[in-house]
Amino acid sequence: MTLESPGPDSDQIREMVEIAARVPDHGKLAPWRFVVWSSSLRKAMHASLIELLEAHPDLMDKEKLAKGTDKLLHAPCVIAVISTASEHPKIPVWEQTLSAGASCMNLLHAANALGFEAQWLTAWYIYEDQARDILRLSDSEQIAGIVHIGSSSIPKAERPRPDLDTILSFVSE
């Protein structure tokens, strides 16, 4: 929640997305798209998502979910990476989905390379069918990640990472 102005301008966003789109993409399908959500659109989405949250009988811990929804409003730039993966005779959906995830990671790297801070977030509403219209998704699309980009005067604290010896192995004959 420490992202603040300035955020990237439209030329910087184009440069970041150009970098983000340079990922493994078997079959050159481009199974993703990028949508920059303006501040005014995010405010409208936020209001609609809060209404949906309050009216949803099955969601637990609505206060925590509402705080997650508030994150839509905290950064000067928010880019949704939309997975458009679909059945294909040669390219598995899984590989297309991984390509969308790789584009999210590249978007983070691109934002950092241009001197911005960035966070890849998801929230309850990206898994909620009733939120699809609010998020402007077609029936075949899903959000791979929501990348928040801005500036921050607060130094990053490194979070704990897994012990390398528990996740790395060398295998031979």
The token pair at 64 is 């925590």
pLDDT of residue 155: 78
To the question of domain 10-167 being in CATH 1.20.120.530, the answer is no
- Characterize 91-112 residue by residue with b for buried, 16 or more Cβ atoms within 10 angstroms of its Cβ, and e for exposed: beeebbbbbbbbbbebbbebbe
Alpha-carbon dihedral angle through residues 20, 22, 25, 27, given to the nearest 10 degrees: 130
> For residue 46, is pLDDT > 70?
yes
Query: What's this model's pTM, rounded to 2 decimal places?
Result: 0.91
Q: SS3 for 139?
A: coil
Residue-wise pLDDT for 128-173, tens only, equals: 999 999 999 999 999 999 999 999 888 777 889 999 999 999 999 9
